[in-house]
Amino acid sequence: MKTAEIRRRWLEFFASKQHTVVPSASLISEDPSLLFTVAGMVPFIPYMSGLVPAPYPRATSVQKCIRTLDIEEVGKTTRHGTFFQMNGNFSFGDYFKREAISYAWEFLTSPQAKGGLELNPELLWVTVYKDDDEAIELWREIADIPMARIQRLGMKDNFWSTGQPGPAGPCSEIYYDRGPEYGIEGGPEADDNRYIEIWNLVFMQYERGKGLGKDDFEILGELPKKNIDTGMGLERVAFLMQGVENLYEIDEVRPVLDLAAQLANKTYGALVEDDVRLRVVADHIRSALMLIGDGVSPGNDGRGYVLRRLLRRSIRAMRLMGVNEPVIGKLITVSKDAMKDSYPELEADFKRIITSAVAEEEAFLRTLTSGSLVLDQAIADVKSSKGSILGGESAFLLHDTYGFPIDLTLEIAEEAGLSVDRDGFTSLMTEQRDRAKADAREKKLGGTDLSVYSAFRALGTTKFTGYEELESDGKVLGLVHDGQSVKVLSHGSVGEIILDTTSLYAESGGQAADAGTIRGEGFELEVLDVQKPVKGLVSHKVLVRSGEVSVNSKAVTAVDEDWRLGACQAHSATHVLHAALRQVLGPSALQSGSYNKPGYLRLDFAWNQALSIETKSELEEVSNLAIRRDLAVSSNLMSQAEAKEFGAVALFGETYDELVRVIQIGGPWSRELCGGTHVSRSSQIGLLSLGAEASVGSGARRIEAFVGMEAFRSLTLERSLVARLTDLAKVPAAALEEKLQQTFEELRNVQKRLALIEQQALQGRIPAWVASAKVIGGQKVAVADLGIVDGADVLRTIGAGLRAELGEASVSIVSALLADKPAVLVAVGSAAIARGVKAGALVKLASAVLGGGGGGKDDMAQGGGTDSSKLSLAIEAIEKALA
RNA sequence: GGGGACUUAGCUCAGUUGGUAGAGCACCUGCUUUGCAAGCAGGGGGUCAGGGGUUCGACCCCCCUAGUCUCCA
């Protein structure tokens, strides 16, 4: 049975049991502390914890997941995959243990003709938590499983909790027996390779207290509303049902493995090492495909780095099998074809996906090329010093700084007859890891504790009224001072206030927080910042201007009207500019982030080269035309699916609720998902003028713009600048550029000529200096004082000129003033050098007198100091030394 | 978020006790050659990423900023 078919049956089965079918959430987790969605229940956590009321009593999903913790194990075992799909059914205070067990059993064992999987019940085993007699009873009653195939396991295996206070409960896991050829008898307890876990049922029935880790805590009592959370590994069931050995050989993965084998000219199954490499490629390529599909691009931190590693590890594995040509394009195409049944959006978006993946491969091939040069040099160095071991530092440097993978280093060094100090490498690696971890720990401790906000959030969400009105009545739900919940904030103090209703916009979606005030009986607060520390809860940072505010008081939030108008202008202008970018550059110029506040906006977008002046003008023209056309701006709430069909642009890396707000400017002219505040007609934006444009990393650029009056001011500023320049240059504005160019060129020519003339003038004085040369200690000594010069190289040419005239038995002393500092240069002929006269030593003597230092070579040296009045004393010191 | 490396002529890169910025390719001029490929001679081209500091003096040492590459979390 195909994987997509198992998936389809799953959703249909639970839909028939009144479950709401929820589409898979993005791999990009909503929780900023999690890089990815790592389990099927992640999108349902708020409903499980009771923070948010569940919109449906029961739900089912097939969730895309990424886990990279065991990335090194991929390919070596049957079960480690970085991407997998988790089938789940969930109950939020609705059904419990009996139904969960009953549904699971029915789905697994009922005939395929009736929509089940028709697994042989004789091969199914279950484990339960050791004290959960209820579960055992139910398994006996519903499934009639003999006690011999039910095992009791402890806290570690069969008790679920998050590791923190909150819901917890026992689990029951279902295993499939692959048969004696895969391991020993004795059930899952004895051998988890022969007995494969396929489904975990979690019965959330307790409230757990504080305590450390997963098995040392206190149970506080029963939950008022009990939940069911289950997870069935789709890949595991698929490989069992498809009669293959592991998840790399299922229909959604195998084609990639086969193509990789073909490209490398290898036979799968022939050599263990190559098999591992082939599986790595098959797994990583699929994960990369799904990640890029969800909007991740390769980068050097966070999610982007994980994606980069997946792609680079694939390329490295291919290299180790002897393939040096680009392969990613072919592999990812095959992977897409294998996955598109379940994820049709991959096909629609494939051009973007393959472009991104192939670009990363090209970048890595460049890295490998430059790394090879460094490695070759390191190997040559070891060999020339008759060594046989490449040091751990070299291997680490290659890996850390040049991105050259360690196993390629190992292989190339081996080919060159060298071994590599692996222990040295590993310990440097550990050091770097510890450094990063220590830092992360410090950040976590220093970071804010969100529990105080979570407590308020449990009471409900903050109602935002700011789309409709600027002033709203509310009630003070809580006050926070120094991270602690307090009852009162007094005059002059700064703290946070949480209300049931607010008209003040919290910073989000790139829009800055509103400015305004909060007033009530006997107090007035100035709003400094507005944030959403946890989803759904707005916290206002305020300064108490007068009086004191206490919990439960009534309060009126008031947005500063001018500020809000500016914010609306800037935010709508951001949409206009985004639309203009995509119109001028093409639809791939997608916004990747933005920031806007009254008068100013900044937009990051996907593009890989600088914008020309012409392009920028075109952008301004398209934007300002749209503003001038007075387009209507509207906002509509709709489901994500509707919005998508509607063609609204969603931003990658953002997560949205199921109900989304779509902002349109001029109907289809611009359609974006957005929670911000906007003007009602485009003409209210007034004017948009572009500012700086720059790179913010590979494939990403940032453009700034001014909006409304600020745009006008930025333009007048430029106009007055041009006016002043034309005034200075005495030409009309149109001729300014040419005039400047001309002037610069003339200036350069004149400077050159001047230098030449000065030098000639000085050179003309050489005969006089030569004539006045004295003979001291057997060599001719000439002294030349150049006066004020503007570069040290003049001294050099004169010194060299004098020496040429005086012959080899000579010492030439040149002095000058560089600005106000005395400088002295000594040039010595070769015959004098032979007699032991050293320019460096003479200069040191002189410059010591001048209060400085100096040095150089035997034939020419220069130095200087700070006291120009001692210049003649310094020269005398040299003459004395020569005598 | 924390590290490492890099940034020098149009391009690819050299440049150590801090003391005269170079090579190859490309470009320009002349010569040579039936032509092509090239050869010979000469020449132009540099705020040494930007800013600050130390120093008599900084491509070089120190600090800051930016860009590029890279590893780790």
Residue that is written with structure tokens 């002897």 in the block: A322
| Mean pLDDT to the nearest integer, A272-291 | 95
Confidence of residue A483 (pLDDT cuts 50, 70, 90): confident
CA of A396 to C1' of B35 (A): 55
Confidence of residue A609 (pLDDT cuts 50, 70, 90): low
Nearest CA-CA partner of A304 in A347, A357, A253: A357
| Mean pLDDT to the nearest integer, A132-141 | 95
Q: Which of residues 805-834 of A touch strand B (CB under 7 A)?
A: 818, 821, 823
Rounded Cα distance, A552 and A367, in Å: 61
Rounded Cα distance, A244 and A356, in Å: 32
User: Which two tokens mark A114?
Assistant: 């009736």
CA of A443 to C1' of B4 (A): 21
β-pair partners for A632: A681
Asked if strand B comes closer than 7 Å to A591 Cβ, the answer is no
CA of A442 to C1' of B69 (A): 28
Asked if strand B comes closer than 7 Å to A397 Cβ, the answer is yes
CA of A407 to C1' of B50 (A): 39
Rounded Cα distance, A104 and A90, in Å: 12
Nearest nt (C1') from A370 Cα:
B69
| Mean pLDDT to the nearest integer, A42-71 | 86
Q: Which of residues 410-429 of A touch strand B (CB under 7 A)?
A: 429
| Mean pLDDT to the nearest integer, A53-64 | 92
User: Which two tokens mark A642?
Assistant: 């509707």
Global pTM value? 0.74
Residue A289 · residue A256 · CB < 8 Å:
no
Asked if strand B comes closer than 7 Å to A738 Cβ, the answer is no
User: Which two tokens mark A234?
Assistant: 């789709």
| Beta strands in A735-879, from DSSP E residues, in sequence order | 774-776, 779-789, 810-818, 821-828, 854-856, 860-864
| Mean pLDDT to the nearest integer, A199-219 | 80
pLDDT at A372: 84
Rounded Cα distance, A15 and A21, in Å: 6
pLDDT at A299: 81
Confidence of residue A736 (pLDDT cuts 50, 70, 90): confident
Residue A637 · residue A623 · CB < 8 Å:
no
Instruction: Note the strand B nucleotides within 7 A of protein beta carbons.
Output: 1-5, 13, 17-21, 55-57, 66-73
**ipTM greater than 0.85:** no
DSSP state of A632: B
pLDDT at A445 over 50: no
| Mean pLDDT to the nearest integer, A66-79 | 83
- For A352, the enclosing helix (H) or strand (E) is helix A350-384
Model pLDDT for residues A658-708, shown as the tens digit of each residue: 678 899 999 899 998 888 999 999 999 999 988 776 666 556 677 888 899
| Beta strands in A615-682, from DSSP E residues, in sequence order | 633-639, 659-665, 670-673
Confidence of residue A744 (pLDDT cuts 50, 70, 90): low
Model pLDDT for residues A622-657, shown as the tens digit of each residue: 999 999 999 999 999 888 778 877 878 776 545 566
The whole-chain average pLDDT of chain A stands at 87
- The residue that minimises its CA distance to C1' of B4 is A401
Asked if strand B comes closer than 7 Å to A141 Cβ, the answer is no
pLDDT at A446: 42
Asked if strand B comes closer than 7 Å to A443 Cβ, the answer is yes
SS (H, E, C) A33-48: CCCECCCCCHHHHHHH
Q: Which of A234-243, A585-594, A767-776 has the highest mean pLDDT?
A: A234-243
Percent of chain A whose predicted confidence (pLDDT) is above 70: 93
- For A339, the enclosing helix (H) or strand (E) is helix A328-339
Model pLDDT for residues A505-519, shown as the tens digit of each residue: 988 877 888 999 999
Residue A173 · residue A187 · CB < 8 Å:
no
Nearest nt (C1') from A797 Cα:
B20
Asked if strand B comes closer than 7 Å to A750 Cβ, the answer is no
Confidence of residue A269 (pLDDT cuts 50, 70, 90): very high
User: Which two tokens mark A750?
Assistant: 């004149």
CA torsion angle for A428, A434, A437, A438 (degrees, to 10)?
A: -130
CA of A277 to C1' of B12 (A): 36
CA of A735 to C1' of B28 (A): 29
Model pLDDT for residues A102-123, shown as the tens digit of each residue: 999 999 999 999 999 999 999 9
Nearest nt (C1') from A800 Cα:
B20
Rounded Cα distance, A743 and A738, in Å: 8
CA of A197 to C1' of B71 (A): 36
Nearest CA-CA partner of A133 in A149, A150, A148, A121: A150
Asked if strand B comes closer than 7 Å to A698 Cβ, the answer is yes
Residue A107 · residue A13 · CB < 8 Å:
yes
CA of A696 to C1' of B64 (A): 19
User: Which two tokens mark A576?
Assistant: 């206009």
Model pLDDT for residues A293-305, shown as the tens digit of each residue: 988 888 877 788 8
Provide the 3-class DSSP secondary structure of residue A486: strand
Q: Which of residues 303-362 of A touch strand B (CB under 7 A)?
A: 305, 308-309, 312
Nearest nt (C1') from A374 Cα:
B5
CA torsion angle for A108, A111, A112, A116 (degrees, to 10)?
A: -30
Phi-psi region of A115 (alpha: psi -120 to 50; beta: other; left: phi over 0): left
Rounded Cα distance, A847 and A854, in Å: 6
Q: Which of residues 771-810 of A touch strand B (CB under 7 A)?
A: 792-793, 796, 800
Provide the 3-class DSSP secondary structure of residue A773: coil
CA of A364 to C1' of B68 (A): 14
